[in-house]
Amino acid sequence: MSVIQLDDVGLKFQVRRFGRISLKEYLLQGLFRRAKKATFEVQALEHIDLCVEEGDRLGIIGHNGAGKSTLLKLLAGIYPPSSGHRRVDGRVSALFDIALGFEHDASGWENICYRGFLQGETPRSIRAKMQPIADFSELGDFLNMSVRYYSAGMMVRLAFSIATAIEPEILIVDEVLAAGDLAFQTKAREKMKHLISRARAVIVVSHDLASLELMCDRVLWLDHGHVRQLGPAKEVIAAYTQEVSGGARQAA
């Protein structure tokens, strides 16, 4: 049974042009002609066909700018497709932009509530999770302090602890989350393994090819917004590695 289905999906962005226009250009082109040229289209994804089934562990790889994070956001429902059809059967839990929704003048405790609500929690459900989140973060009395005064490591600890306090059905992860110091990173990796084991389906973007090969049964290789290859993890990663290595040798 498929939990995610993409049929010939495309995604376009309208991008605003920046730059000044001279008086001469303004007079020659006219106000309305100028307005038409104020934006241009960028085709971020094109002709994406994908079926993710119950139990799938799918990795996504590709060069920087290939469209990996954009595809995750489309799967999560943040971006609606410009063309084609997207169908999702299940609750999506997305782990990217984990620091989104923080109020810097509010305390750690208050931010647990705010960020929890953004993840779809209710006042009742987040109350039950507040203490476990606090315990996992190991921030103790710092939770009574405004997060404005947190170090970067403390912010990541709190953000990770809140973001992973979920009951995943379809889990979408952008990159392996490195949180805090080495001891906390060990806890974070174990937490991720636990979430992945419980999810109906997992889709993860990472540049750590060795981890993806161990974690995923299939891998999708994106290249400039197109599907370059989709298949068994070992096979696709080997093809991608060979191309990247060949490109590096040519550049050298």
Per domain, the residue ranges of the chain are 2-90+207-251, 95-167+178-194
Q: What's the fold here for domain 2-90+207-251?
A: Rossmann fold (3.40.50)
List per-residue pLDDT tens for the chain, 252 residues long: 689 999 999 999 877 665 565 666 566 566 555 555 567 788 999 999 999 999 999 999 999 999 999 999 999 888 999 999 999 998 888 888 777 778 999 999 999 999 888 888 899 999 999 999 999 999 999 999 999 999 988 988 998 899 889 888 999 998 755 556 778 888 888 888 888 899 999 999 988 899 899 889 999 999 999 999 999 999 999 999 999 987 766 665
Can you give the pLDDT at residue 121? 87
Can you give the pLDDT at residue 63? 94
Contacts of 243 (CB under 8 A, 6+ apart): none
Q: Provide the residue type at 39 as one letter.
A: T
What is the pTM assigned to this prediction? 0.79
CATH among 3.40.50.970, 3.40.50.300, 3.40.47.10, 3.20.20.10 for 95-167+178-194 = 3.40.50.300
Compute CA distances 125 → 120, 121, 129, whole Å. Answer: 9, 6, 7
**Identical fold, 2-90+207-251 and 95-167+178-194:** yes
Partners of 218 in beta bridges: 58, 232
Can you give the pLDDT at residue 186? 83
Q: 3-state class of 153 per DSSP?
A: helix
Can you give the pLDDT at residue 15? 74
69, 11 contact by CB (below 8 A): no
Q: How far apart are CA 109 and CA 146, in angstroms?
A: 9
Can you give the pLDDT at residue 204? 93
Can you give the pLDDT at residue 101? 72
Task: Tell me the CB-side half-sphere exposure of residue 248, using CA atoms within 13 A.
Answer: 7
